[in-house]
Chain A
Amino acid sequence: MERIPRTQINEKTLVHLPRGACATIHALGSQKNDIQDKLLAMGILPGRMITVISKFPSFVFQIGNSQFTVDKDIAKEIYIKLS
Chain B
Amino acid sequence: MSSPHTTTLNYLDTPICEAVLKITELLKASYKISKNTLALLLLQEDPYTQALVKEKEEKNYTHIQEVVSNLSKQYSEPLRYVISMNRQKTVDVLVSQSVTVPKSSSFMISNFLNRLMIHPLTGYPILALVLYYGLYQFVGVFGSGTIVEFIEGTLFETYINPWVTSFFQALIPWAVIQELFVGEYGIFTLGIRYAVAIVLPVVGTFFIAFSIIEDTGYLPRLALLLDRSFKYIGLNGRAVIPMVLGLGCDTMATMVTRILETKREKVIATLLLALAIPCSAQLGLILALLAKSPHALLMWGGVVMGEFFLIGYLAAKILPGTQPQFFMELPPLRLPMLSNVMTKTYSRIQWYFMEVLPLFIVASLLIWVGQITGLFQWLINALKPVVLAIGLPAEAAIAVLFGFFRRDYGAAGLYDLQTKNLLTPNQLAIASITLTLFLPCIAQFLIMKKERGLKTTLWMTAFIFGAAFGTGYLLNQVLELLRIHL
Contact = CB atoms under 8 A, between A and B. Distances in A.
Contacts of A35: 325
A74 interface: yes
B77 A42 contact: no
Nearest to B228: A57
B224 A40 contact: no
A67 interface: yes
Contacts of A57: 120, 123, 224-228
Contacts of B95: 64
Contact of A60 (B78, B224, B231, B332): B224
B141 to A, nearest CB: 30
A2 B81 CA distance: 11
B220 A40 contact: no
B85 A68 contact: no
B224 A58 contact: yes
B227 A38 contact: no
B327 A74 contact: yes
B116 to A, nearest CB: 11
Given A1-B78, A38-B327, A54-B118, A46 B85 contact: yes
B88 A58 contact: no
B237 interface: yes
Contacts, number: 94
B328 A69 contact: yes
B118 A68 contact: no
B58 interface: no
B419 interface: no
Nearest to A41: B84
Contacts of B220: 69
Contacts of B328: 68-70
Interface in A45-60: 45-48, 53-54, 56-58, 60
A3 B228 contact: no
Contact of A70 (B119, B225, B327): B327
Contacts of B327: 38, 42, 68-71, 74
B177 interface: no
B471 interface: no
B85 A47 contact: yes
A74 B328 CA distance: 11
A9 to B, nearest CB: 20
A50 to B, nearest CB: 13
A83 interface: no
Given A1-B78, A47-B85, A74 B228 contact: no
Contacts of B362: none
A58 B326 contact: yes
Contact of B330 (A3, A28, A47, A60): A60
Interface string B221-243: 00111111001000011000000
B223 A69 contact: yes
A71 B75 CA distance: 31
Nearest to B332: A67
A24 B123 CA distance: 28
B31 to A, nearest CB: 22
Given A45-B84, A57-B225, A74 B120 contact: no
Contact of A58 (B75, B80, B115, B227): B227
B339 to A, nearest CB: 26
B330 A71 contact: no
B88 A74 contact: no
Interface in B313-351: 323, 325-330, 332
Nearest to B85: A45
A50 B391 CA distance: 60
A12 to B, nearest CB: 20
B120 A56 contact: yes
A60 B118 contact: yes
Nearest to A67: B330
Interface in B237-277: 237
Contact of A5 (B77, B80, B236, B330): B77
Contact of B326 (A3, A43, A47, A74): A74
B88 A45 contact: yes
A27 B330 CA distance: 22
B3 interface: no
The 6 closest A-B pairs by CB, nearest first: A67-B330, A58-B224, A71-B326, A69-B224, A70-B327, A40-B84
18 contacts: A1-B80, A3-B75, A4-B77, A36-B81, A38-B325, A38-B327, A40-B81, A43-B84, A45-B88, A48-B88, A57-B123, A58-B118, A60-B330, A64-B95, A68-B330, A70-B325, A71-B227, A74-B325
Interface of A: 1-5, 28, 34-38, 40, 42-43, 45-48, 53-54, 56-58, 60, 64-71, 73-74
